[in-house]
Amino acid sequence: MRRSRWLAAVLLLVPALLLWQLLRSPAPLRLVTFNGQTMGTTYHVVLRVPDADKAADVQAAVDARLAEINRSMSTWDPQSELSRLNAAPAGKPVAVSAELYKVLAAAQHWSRATGGALDVTVGPLVNLWGFGPGGERRTPGPREIAAARARSGYERLRLEPGRVTRTVPGMYVDLSAIAKGYGVDEVGRLLHARGYAHYLVEIGGEVVAAGERDAGTPWHVGIERPEAGLPQGAELVGAVPLRRGALASSGSYRRYRDEGGQRRHHIIDPRTGRPTQSRLVAVTVWAPDCMTADALATALMVMGPDKGLAWVERTPDVEALFLVDVGGGDFAQHASSGFVTE
Ligand code: AMP
Ligand code: MG
């Protein structure tokens, strides 16, 4: 009798130990990947999920969320909230969604912090040089540039809680420098809200990471060699272990046109109304969130490698890698003190 009671106790203990072991050791995880089209480019998601989780409806939710952001912020959709704001009469406050307001407010914040290097009101200039919707790439004359400059300037875009006023007729806001990063953050937030702790989200080269690729192994993000004509990601100059936060890149080597020995690309220096002129061909920025990294990558392309690097060093929570064309197909790498590559 005594013996069988012991036996029962041991038998009970064994399943309890097994259960404890099961709970203690993490469930086996595997990677699920999916991709699609958004914001005129592609997106990729890599998700580390428990074995039993098929993550079946996650992609549909991601697609729906990205479509929603596009309906708010795209200048390529004439019906988007932003296109309607751009078409509204100047001088009148327009009520905007919380989401659009948040991105506009972030853009204005970084415009002030970068001395106007980032300026989402450069839209008329982007369009003039042919890098906007339906644009024809050409070199405009000085008068046209002056006229487009008169319709831009972030200080002329007024924000008050929930409302936006374009104070100059013909003002045109273009969020292409920041919206992809916001989209990346939002997809990350969606995955987090669904209980996922390990993921990598990328839209057109802008990336956010959470958790780890494998136990003890961080996600790694490659930095491509900024050479025109190379297929995307074909050659890397290094890889960044992304333990937290986001990476975004800007460059003058993908969307451009050469004319008379000068490269006309899609990043406009708001102070001149012309594409930036420097040997800086690409910048990659680390920041805690991808909207910030995206905005700053564009701003640092405008600032150039020297002023840009000094700015990064005195700004907390931002790191950057500048790739400068030194001729002969070589690139010099200038990294801020906390930028880690492997
Ligand atoms: P990104 O690829 O993030 O560097 O964004 C570049 C896009 O932002 C361009 O295609 C333009 O539509 C727009 N853009 C160009 N120059 C600027 C600027 N100085 N500030 C804000 N947006 C800009
Ligand atoms: Mg950007």
The ligand 1 atom at the shortest distance from the C-alpha of residue 270 is: 19
Residue whose Cα lies nearest atom 15 of ligand 1: it is 267
In the prediction, which pLDDT does 317 show? 97
* pLDDT recorded at residue 227: 82
Q: Which residues contact 22 (CB under 8 A, 6 or more apart)?
A: none
* Beta carbons of 58 and 47 less than 8 angstroms apart: yes
Pocket lining: 268 vs ligand 1, CB cutoff 6 Å: yes
Q: What is the pLDDT along the chain (342 residues), one digit of tens a residue?
A: 455 555 555 545 455 544 444 444 556 788 999 999 999 999 999 999 988 788 889 999 999 999 999 999 999 999 999 999 999 999 999 999 999 999 999 999 999 999 999 999 999 999 999 988 877 788 899 999 999 999 999 999 999 999 999 999 999 999 999 999 999 999 999 999 999 999 999 999 999 999 999 989 999 999 998 887 777 777 888 999 999 999 999 998 776 667 666 777 899 999 999 999 889 999 999 999 999 999 999 999 999 999 999 999 999 999 999 999 999 889 999 999 999 988
At 294, which amino acid appears? D
Residue 154 DSSP class: G
Q: What angle do CA 342, 297, 186 make, to 5 degrees?
A: 90
54 C-alpha to ligand 2 centroid (Å): 33
Residue 119 CA to ligand 2 centre (angstroms): 11
How far does residue 127's CA lie from ligand 2's centre (Å)? Answer: 17
- Ligand 1 atom nearest to 250, measured from its CA: 4
Measured over all CA atoms, what is the biggest interatomic distance in the chain, rounded to whole angstroms? Answer: 103
The H or E element spanning position 134 is: none
Tell me which amino acid residue 234 is: A
d(CA 29, CA 52): 9
Residue 239 C-alpha to ligand 1 middle, in angstroms?
25
CA of 267 to the centre of ligand 2 (A): 9
| Beta carbon of 119 within 6 Å of any ligand 1 atom | yes
Rounded to whole angstroms, how far apart are CA atoms 166 and 288?
A: 30
Residue 290 makes CB contacts below 8 A (sequence gap 6+) with: 180, 181, 182, 184, 185, 188, 206, 207, 208, 246, 247, 248
Q: Which amino acid is at 159?
A: L
The pLDDT assigned to 18 comes to 47
Q: Would you list the DSSP string of 9-27?
A: HHHHHHHHHHHHHHHHSPP
Dist CA 128 CA 139 (whole Å)? 8
Q: Is the CB of 206 under 6 A from ligand 1?
A: no
Distance between CA atoms of residues 170 and 87, nearest Å: 8
The owner of tokens 């024809």 is 136
DSSP state for residue 132 in the 8-state scheme: S
Whole-angstrom CA distances from 56 to 33, 53, 272 are: 11, 8, 50
With a 6 Å cutoff on the Cβ, whether 58 touches ligand 1 is no
Query: Dihedral of CA 78/83/85/87: which sign?
Result: negative
Helical (H) or strand (E) element with 304 = none
Measured by CA distance, the residue closest to atom 23 of ligand 1 is 177
How many Å lie between the centroid of ligand 2 and the Cα of residue 181?
A: 7
Tell me if 176 CB under 6 Å of ligand 1.
yes
Alpha-carbon distance of 202 to 210, in angstroms, equals 12
CA distance linking residue 235 with residue 244, whole number of Å:
24
Spatial distance between the Cα atoms of 241 and 257, rounded to a whole number of angstroms: 33
Counting ligand 1 atoms within 8 A of each CB, the residue from 108, 114, 122 with the most, and so the one to mutate, is 122
